């Protein structure tokens, strides 16, 4: 009816004072201490799913479609970098947004999810560098 249930928002993980590392990360991500605009759990999880899906699509295209399937159907082999670079940039953008969204929500798994996102971002950045090198 207009009233949100307690499960509709992510319960803040922070109790009392924040650690210096938490404070530094919140500053880096430009996350305010005001929790009045805490995103709903569904929003946080939807963005996480979307960003990981985009990164997975990038890997699928880079390692399956372009090297194996494209030559099998007679498609040009050099289209991989031209398509891979924009997809990588979109994936990195959504990954960064996802990290920030978990921190805005003060999600209890924000550090674990940040580590997962950073690992994915490193892999996508390596693929991006490979694509740029292929075009050069």
Q: Is residue 13 included in any domain, yes or no?
A: no
Q: Is residue 60 included in any domain, yes or no?
A: yes
Q: What is the mean pLDDT of residues 43-62?
A: 82
Query: How far apart are alpha carbons 58 and 85 in whole angstroms?
Result: 9
- Which pLDDT belongs to residue 114? 95
Q: Which residue has the higher pLDDT, 77 or 69?
A: 69
Taking CA atoms, 119 is separated from 19, 77, 86, 106, 126, in Å, by: 23, 28, 19, 21, 11
- Which pLDDT belongs to residue 132? 92
Q: Is residue 29 included in any domain, yes or no?
A: no
- Which pLDDT belongs to residue 131? 87
Q: Is the pLDDT of residue 24 over 90?
A: yes
**How many domains, the chain?**
1
pLDDT tens track for 97-128: 889 989 988 888 999 999 999 998 999 899 89
- Which pLDDT belongs to residue 23? 92
* Phi, psi at 111, each rounded to 5°: -70, -40
Q: Is residue 55 included in any domain, yes or no?
A: yes
Sorting pLDDT into bands at 50, 70 and 90, what band is 55?
Answer: confident
**How large is the greatest C-alpha to C-alpha distance in the chain, in angstroms?**
62
- Which pLDDT belongs to residue 43? 81
Q: Which residue has the higher pLDDT, 81 or 109?
A: 109
Q: Is residue 32 included in any domain, yes or no?
A: no
Judged by phi (left if over 0) then psi (alpha if -120 to 50, else beta), residue 42 lies in alpha
Q: Is residue 101 included in any domain, yes or no?
A: yes
Q: Is residue 133 included in any domain, yes or no?
A: yes
């Amino acid at each position: 009816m207009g009233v949100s249930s307690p499960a509709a928002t992510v319960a803040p993980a922070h109790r009392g004072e924040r650690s210096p590392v938490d404070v530094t990360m919140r500053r880096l991500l430009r996350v305010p201490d005001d929790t009045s605009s805490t995103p709903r759990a569904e929003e946080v999880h939807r963005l996480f799913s979307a960003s990981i899906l985009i990164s997975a699509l990038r890997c699928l295209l880079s390692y399956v479609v372009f090297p194996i399937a494209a030559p099998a159907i007679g498609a040009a082999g050099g289209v991989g970098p031209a398509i891979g670079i924009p997809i990588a940039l979109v994936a990195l953008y959504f990954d960064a947004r996802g990290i920030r969204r978990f921190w805005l929500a003060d999600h209890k798994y924000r550090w674990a999810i940040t580590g997962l996102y950073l690992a994915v971002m490193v892999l996508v950045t390596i693929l991006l560098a490979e694509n740029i090198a292929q075009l050069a």
